Structure 1
C-alpha cells in the first residue's frame, strides 16, 4: 500500500484519501473541529493545519500522495492552533462550567491539549439569541463556532438543507431554513444526523441534561495528549 510520513511515522493510504482521513484511520491524532469521516471536507476551522514539505496546508482537504513528509506536532503548529482556538473562545460566549457539553466538547478538549490557559484577547461578548422553539432540540448561537458540521450533515446525510451560513465578518451566523428562521418551524428532527453532530454545546437535545455525569464523559476519561508548546511563550 502507498504511504506518506507523519512526523516520521509511515501512514498507509488509499487513492483519494486526505491526509486527515488516512492519519485518523491509522490512529494518529490531528487536531480538528470541522472534519467528520462521513462528510466531505470543508477546511472551515483550519485547526488541522500541518506542514507538508515545508508549506502550511489543511490536512482535511489535502490529498495524500506517495512519500509526502508531513509534520503535525511542532511548536510552530501548536502556537498557530492555540491562537485559532483562543479566537474561537473570544468570538463567542463559551462558559464551560455552565455548559451541558462540558467533558464532551471538542473545543474545550482542544484548548486543554494546546495548553491554553487564557484568551490573550479581549472578549467580544456578542449578544446572541437562544432558540428553544423546537420540541426536542435547542440552538444556542452563543456557542456556535461556525464549523458547518450541522449544515453539511443536514445536506449530505439527511437530505434536508436545514442550515446555512449568512452575514459577513463578526456578524456571520448560522441560519435556519424556516419561514420564521427558527428551529421549531424547520424540517430538523431529533433523530437526524445534523441534530447530534455539533462538536460544542450549540445544538443539543432537550430533557437529557447531565445523563452522563461530569467526570465520566469522553474527554474526562480519555483526555487528548498534550501537544508541543511554543518554545518562546509556552502555554498561554
Structure 2
C-alpha cells in the first residue's frame, strides 16, 4: 500500500500522506478550514465542531477524520458555511463576548472566524452567564467571560508543561474552566507566564497583564488579514512587561 495518494477537496485534487487527517492535508495544500480547538502540535479534540466537512457525503470533523484515497471532501459549500456560522453564533450567545471592549480584539480567532463567515448577528438569544475575572496571578489573568472551552490550555498544561493547572468542570451552560490550586485561583497555582498554556488561548480568556495595547487596534493580525489568508500562525501574545 502506497503512503501517498490523492483526494478531492471541493472538486480539486489534492495530495495526502497516509495518516494525515483532512485538516492536515488541506492545510498542507494551502486550504483553510475554519477551526478553534485544533492546533497541529496537539492531538485533535473535536469540541468546537467548526471544522466539520462532508467526507463522501457524511458530516465529520476534519481534525479527526483520516484521508483515504479518492475521498470526496466538501468544505466550502453553502450548507457547510451556514452550519459553521451557526456554531460561531452559538459560541457568542453562550458566552459574554463584547468584541469592541475586549483587549484581544483583532487577535481573537473567534472574532476572526465570525468575520470570515460573514456573521452579522448572533441569531440566538444571549445566555449572559455569570462568570468571574481571575486577576490573582501577577502576570496573567483569566477572563472567564471569553472562554469557549476549547481546552487548548488544558492540553498544553497537561501534555507540554506537565503541570495540569487547568481542567473543565460542569456540563452545558454550567461548564467552566477551573484551576488546580487550593483556592481555585490562578495566582495560587503552579502556573507561569512562560508556560505554553499561557500562549495557546485562541480568544481573550487567558491574557497577559500590562500588554493589552502593545499593538494598537487596527494594526493587529486579523485587523489586516482575513483568517483564511493566513497559514494558521500561533495567536499573538505580547510578553508581560
Relative to the length of structure 2, the TM-score reads 0.91
Gaps of at least 5 residues in structure 2 are 230-241
Match 1:26 to one of 29, 32, 37: 29
Shift of 1:225: 5.2
Superposition RMSD on alpha carbons, in Å?
1.2
User: Contact conserved, 2:106 with 2:223, CA < 8 A, in 1?
Assistant: yes
Q: Is the 8 A contact 2:37 2:47 kept in 1?
A: yes
Following TM superposition, the consecutive aligned residue runs of length 4 or more in structure 1 with deviations greater than 3 angstroms are none
Return the match for 1:59 from 36, 58, 62.
62
Q: Which residue in 1 is equivalent to 2:160?
A: 157
Asked if 1 retains the 8 angstrom alpha-carbon contact of 2:129 and 2:173, the reply is no
Three-state SS of the structure 2 residue aligned to 1:158 is: coil
Q: CA deviation at 1:156?
A: 1.6
Structure 1 position 133 matched with structure 2 position 142 = no
The CA distance in 2 between the partners of 1:166 and 1:179, in whole Å, is 16
Task: Establish whether residue 98 from structure 1 lines up as the match of residue 106 from structure 2.
Answer: no
Number of the residue aligned with 1:214: 217
| 1:100 to partner: Cα distance | 1.0
**How many equivalent residue pairs?**
226
Q: Does 1:179 align with 2:187?
A: no
Q: Among residues 203, 223, 234, which one is paired with 2:206 in the alignment?
A: 203
* CA displacement 1:53-85 (0-9 Å, x = unmatched): 100000001111111100010110011111110
With a CA cutoff of 8 Å and minimum separation of 6, indicate the structure with the bigger relative contact order. 1
Unmatched segments (≥5 aa) in structure 1: 227-236
2:116 corresponds to 1:116: no
